[in-house]
Amino acid sequence: MDEYKNIVIDISGQIGTIRINRPETLNALSEDVIIELTSAFHLLDENPETVLTVLTGTGRFFSSGADVRSTKIMSYNEPELGKFLSKSSQKRIHDVKEKIKYMTHLVPRLLPIYLLPSSSLAYVEMLRSIINHRKVFILALNGPAIGGGAAWFTGVADIVFASSNCFLQVPFSTLGLIPELGSAPIFSQSMGVHRANEFLMFDRRLDARELEASGILNRIFPEQDFQKSVTQYLSDILIASDGQSLMEAKRLMCEPLKEKRMVAVMNSIDALAKRFATGSPQLRFKKKTEELEGESPKIA
């Protein structure tokens, strides 16, 4: 499927694969990418044939996190969409954008997140689409994941695979941020409070072996032919297992967690708003952007 600009979707039998396809940015997560990912999770959730949804990346990184060099917020417009999206994909992305538009007006009445850019709601909607996803969600980390690329997907995935060269790192505190989108309680459940604190607070880099030992990773595959190895492994599982049984097991496991996970997401949005109110994240992001653009950061 080639209707999307920043991702690639492939459906092969009972496996639906979403691949972030921005290798030139190390698969940085812009607003456009988030919108397309949300649409893709909806698409595969509704597919009657698939059992497994695999999220992975193109190139040597899974994701370098938020695209700090991106200046466009909700950058799609309808004429541009028509150039590269099918009518079905246009409608899906339009529906996601419409919901976010109304949430922009309604949610501030419920939670004090008005200090954040309205685009933050796009990230909430993406997490909702993953948390409510009915298919078994396999995160296949083809390489390193940093920031949001490490925090947003790993904790809510049902199964996590990684290549041998993978590492996770979340520089939230160095950017004046907090563990985003509910990642703090979710990681503490997966790896224990003390390990999660060190990882999320101290910008600690964890390699694949450490992640496997901590319980975050299910399995490590060789870097060479990683995607092929993951696909073969999952295909063998599907030959031996009943797909509907896998989905029902996922439902029984995740149904009690859905509300808690969404509450954690909204609590983190509230905490993030307070950080933005101080102005610290804006200054730190500006400095990081200048560094990435090869400019000398201005020292106050």
| pLDDT (tens digit per residue) in 233-277 | 999 999 999 999 999 999 999 999 999 999 999 888 888 878 887
| Three-point CA angle 11, 12, 15, nearest 5° | 80
| CA nearest to 211, candidates 130, 150, 136 | 150
pLDDT number for residue 3: 75
Q: Count H helices and E strands in the chain, helices first.
A: 12, 9
33 close to 66: Cβ distance less than 8 angstroms: no
113 close to 69: Cβ distance less than 8 angstroms: no
Beta strands in the chain (DSSP E): 7-12, 15-20, 52-57, 136-141, 145-146, 159-163, 167-169, 206-207, 219-221
Q: Any residues with CB less than 8 A from the CB of 273 and at least 6 apart, and which?
A: 112, 113, 114, 115, 116
Residue type, position 86, single letter:
S
Residue type, position 77, single letter:
N
Assign 100 to helix, strand or coil.
Answer: helix
Name residues of the chain where pLDDT drops below 70.
1-2, 68-120, 295-300
47 close to 11: Cβ distance less than 8 angstroms: yes
pLDDT number for residue 275: 85
Which domains, and CATH codes, for the chain? 7-227+243-292 (3.90.226.10)
As a whole number of angstroms, the distance between CA 212 and CA 215 comes to 5
**pLDDT, tens digit (0-9, with 9 covering 90-100), for 266-291:** 888 888 878 887 888 888 888 877 88
Residue 27 token pair: 């698969």
Torsion of CA 48, 54, 57, 62, to 10 degrees: 150
| CA nearest to 199, candidates 234, 226, 171, 158 | 171
- Global confidence as pTM: 0.81
